[in-house]
Chain A
């Protein structure tokens, strides 16, 4: 009887938490992928994320900023200090003003934020047919469908169906809401040359850059899941002990 009550109690607590899922807006049916970072023990595939960084650097970063990410954060996907310093040094950033009061530039440092491709939003719009390429720091979290959506979008370019009138400079995409997207198809076969010899198909590039975007959006994920496993194990034991104590305390009560 008591364990039943306890199970009911857990269900009552957990039940309402599950309700919103059933209530979620009817999202478009997105094809699902297997991600290295999915599931309670998932981690970021280091090689894939590093290749993804290459795709970001050589393709996406031509238009998309990543303002909330530091070069030093790249240590989270396995780059070492030397590599990070070298990556940061490839950009030139403002160094403030020198002793004479003159503004000067300096090479980037690991402590710098990712350099944005445009000085401001207006410049970004002017260069992109009026459309503003969204910042990619937390883009993956900001889209219904998350990683699957990003992957599907990147691989979802096609010719518009017969009879569909496209807006000026717009591109047809199977998964973009409304199917008209200002961004031209960004990835093509062999768009980048991977140094590890991986064949750069569209699917491979999309998978790699999505893994990288998942990392920058949730850099704490691996630590979070590790700590979570410990917390759940500890709490499960504590629940058991507490329940045993409770039964012991109540043992001599008729109830």
Chain B
């Protein structure tokens, strides 16, 4: 297998490197000429957006870490020092805190797209599972990051969430002690959370790499959910999708800028501007908005272990989604009932989010329980049955068929592509 690569690059320096380490050939293959379905809509921007968002978080986070002090007596003030005395420290911090919210918005839409168009189905099951691993890592990272400013919500959020593990029979309390590094949330907890918060994004990068590698083996799904049949169905990734992703990135940057510059604390909780005080519990302990639906599930079950199991179960169920959905048709476009169910699930999650933001009393308890039940009903009962009973619409023959609408010619490659496909068939 060993041997020099026969590089096709004409630039002598690039050729020299590429012969010995063909990274340029690889990039050309995976991001230059990579054949990509031609019918993506803008939902297919969000994978690229998530990658860029992760890089933004790491870039701003590295500089924040240079000025942050992970010690319970100094953490709160060191964050305020970043805001007041570090050059553009406020910009770094607001980009980082609002960047986290944007990251979840982008990833939640990315997941919605995967579900709506059936991207998790064979042969992309492992790609999907890696995606769920990314979601879990992201959640852990975001949770630990929120603890670092050491405000009231940092402290009490950390107390509530770490205490969840005490619900585990037998070993629960030992796990909590291990997480805390002591017998309450204190300096050792802050230290290890800081360390792990710095470590996790690099683990994320590794899993994202696997996610993308798996994607480049199976190829992308598309809004029709049918396989690529001929080269006519595809376009080279560059310049078509680099251009299209760039449009999305500009819009993403604009939304982020609007938050950072004009409403930087809009998504945050005022209580986190109060330094952590172990002797005073805030009136409400509420997680960041992106955890609210899961928090609602946790509180909807009147039993600690039950609630914790349901909360983690709501993510675990995503791991087996490729096998819960028994329908052979991928895209919701051709699944009239599934399409409705997907939007109902979106409403269900929004309802859970609203429940998570309110005290569990009165009508909110009822809505919370009903929405929790529906969430699991959707995945565990409706999806497996739907594959058997749903009457799906006829699928188009190929991606280019509905695209061309009976016309002739495709992209600039259509002529050559058509000739190629004739040879193959």
Binding site for B on A (CB under 8 A): 5-6, 8-10, 12-14, 16-17, 19-26, 40, 67-68, 73, 134, 137-139, 141-144, 146, 177, 217, 219-220, 224-225, 227-229, 231-232, 235-236, 238-239, 242-243, 245-246, 249-250, 252-255
Q: A6-B247, A8-B42, A242-B250 are in contact. Are A235 and B257 (CB under 8 A)?
A: yes
Q: Decide yes or no whether B31 CB sits under 8 A from chain A.
A: no
* Minimum C-beta distance from B364 to chain A (A): 11
Q: How many residues of B contact A (CB 8 A)?
A: 66
- Smallest CB-CB separation from B407: which chain A residue? A254
* Minimum C-beta distance from A61 to chain B (A): 19
The 7 tightest CB contacts between A and B, nearest first, are: A228-B261, A142-B273, A239-B250, A23-B357, A253-B411, A20-B289, A246-B243
User: A21 touches which one: B42, B109, B266, B286 (CB < 8 A)?
Assistant: B266
Q: Decide yes or no whether B393 CB sits under 8 A from chain A.
A: no
Main secondary structure of the interface of A (DSSP, over half): helix
Check B80–A250 contact: CB distance below 8 A: no
CB neighbours (8 Å) of B83 from chain A are 220
Check A16–B105 contact: CB distance below 8 A: yes
CB neighbours (8 Å) of B259 from chain A are 17
CB neighbours (8 Å) of B251 from chain A are 6, 9-10, 13, 239
Check A144–B270 contact: CB distance below 8 A: yes
Check B270–A141 contact: CB distance below 8 A: yes
Q: Decide yes or no whether B148 CB sits under 8 A from chain A.
A: no
- Smallest CB-CB separation from B40: which chain A residue? A255
- Smallest CB-CB separation from B258: which chain A residue? A232
Q: Decide yes or no whether B127 CB sits under 8 A from chain A.
A: no
Cα–Cα distance between A255 and B224 once the two chains are bound (Å): 13
Cα–Cα distance between A231 and B358 once the two chains are bound (Å): 35
Check B255–A231 contact: CB distance below 8 A: no
Check A17–B267 contact: CB distance below 8 A: yes
Q: A8-B42, A142-B271 are in contact. Are A227 and B250 (CB under 8 A)?
A: no
Cα–Cα distance between A68 and B80 once the two chains are bound (Å): 7
Cα–Cα distance between A28 and B77 once the two chains are bound (Å): 30
Check A252–B42 contact: CB distance below 8 A: no
Q: Decide yes or no whether B292 CB sits under 8 A from chain A.
A: yes
Check B246–A19 contact: CB distance below 8 A: no
Query: Given A23-B292, A224-B261, 20 other A-B contacts at CB below 8 A?
Result: A9-B42, A9-B248, A14-B255, A20-B353, A23-B356, A25-B359, A142-B270, A142-B273, A144-B270, A227-B261, A228-B258, A231-B257, A235-B250, A235-B253, A239-B251, A239-B254, A242-B250, A253-B411, A254-B407, A254-B411
